[in-house]
A = this chain, B = another copy of it.
C-alpha cells in the first residue's frame, strides 16, 4: 500500500529540509565554532581554582576603585550580558568614558582586548580600567595597599600564588581576575546547538539569516568561536558612517599603532550575546540591533540590505545568546583600620 500524497510530500520536504540544514551546517562549521562547555586553561596554563575563587571576589569588590563604589562588574555587569547597556560607561566622578563597554562574556576567546586591541589578554586588560581616571581612578600602589590591609585577601593571594614571595601584587590581582573571567562563557546558544546537529535549534528565518550572514560577506570580519573579536578592520570599509556613530576624535587602533592605515580601525565586534548588549558600536550610539545590521551592510559591505534581509540577519544574531553564567554574589572580607579610605 503506498503512502497518501500529503505524507509523501511531507516526507520529501522534511528530507529536503534536513539536506538543506546539513549543507548550511557544513558551511557554517567551516567558519564558526561552538563555545566550549568549559575553559580549563589560559595561554597554555591550567587554571588554578584558588585563583578563580579569588578573582570572583575581586571582580565584585568596589574597593578596587578609588571611590569604593565601582567594581569591574559595574561596567561589565553579569546580570545584563556582561556589559552596562549604556552609551559609554560612567566612571569616577560621573565622567563618561570614551567608548561603549565591551562584554566580558566569552572575552577569553577574543584575540586581544579593548575595541582597539591594545591589551593582548585579559590580565593586561584588567589593569586598564582600574587605573583609568575616567573609570576606577585607582593606582597599583593603592590597590596593593588596600588588598594588603585585609588579612583574608592576603591569605587568599598566598593560596592562589603559592610560589610567590610577595603574592599580593597588582599583577596577581589582574591574573586572578583573568582566572575568573575565563569562566564567563555562554555555551549552548541555539546557534551552537544547530552547529552540533540540532536542526530545530534555529527557525527558518534564523537559518535564512545565517545563510545571508555568510553570503553577504559579514563573515569576512565576524567569524570563529566569537563570531568576531579576531581581526582589525576599518569602520566604514566602503562608506564612513556619520560622525554621530563614528566620532571623528576617536581614531581607534591608530592610537595603538600610530599607523595611518589604522585610522578608524577597530577590532571586529564579537557578536556572541549581541542581542543582550545594546547600544551598539564603539560609540554606543545605536540602540536597535536591526539598525546596527543595516548600518553594517551599508558601511562595510556597500549593500543596502532589504528589510527582510535585515530582519533575518537580526533573527540569526538572536540565536547567538547562550546560557548566561550562574554566579554567586560573593561575601567580601571586611576592610580594616589600615585600608585606604574611599576618595
Contact = CB atoms under 8 A, between A and B. Distances in A.
Interface stretch (A2-10, A163-171, A224-232, A335-343): A335-343
Interface string A72-112: 00100111110011110010011000000000000000000
A90 B95 CA distance: 13
A240 B78 CA distance: 46
A334 interface: yes
Contacts of A152: none
B81 A62 contact: no
A254 interface: no
Interface in A299-343: 324, 326-332, 334-335, 337, 341-342
Contact of A68 (B61, B85, B94, B332): B85
A276 interface: yes
A329 B327 contact: yes
Nearest to A87: B342
Interface residues of A, number: 37
A324 B67 CA distance: 24
A161 interface: no
A69 B84 contact: yes
A74 B69 contact: yes
Given A93-B94, A287-B341, A329 B78 contact: yes
A84 to B, nearest CB: 6
Contacts of A67: 86, 90
A198 interface: no
A278 interface: yes
A214 to B, nearest CB: 26
Contact of A328 (B80, B93, B328): B328
A276 B79 contact: no
B324 A79 contact: no
A54 to B, nearest CB: 14
A278 B85 CA distance: 32
Given A276-B334, A335-B278, A69 B81 contact: no
Contacts of A324: 331
A288 interface: yes
A278 to B, nearest CB: 7
Interface of A: 60-62, 67-69, 74, 77-81, 84-87, 90, 93-94, 275-276, 278, 287-288, 324, 326-332, 334-335, 337, 341-342
17 contacts: A60-B79, A61-B79, A62-B77, A68-B86, A69-B84, A69-B86, A78-B331, A79-B332, A80-B334, A81-B334, A87-B342, A93-B94, A276-B334, A278-B335, A287-B341, A324-B331, A328-B328
The 6 closest A-B pairs by CB, nearest first: A94-B94, A324-B331, A329-B329, A79-B332, A327-B329, A86-B342
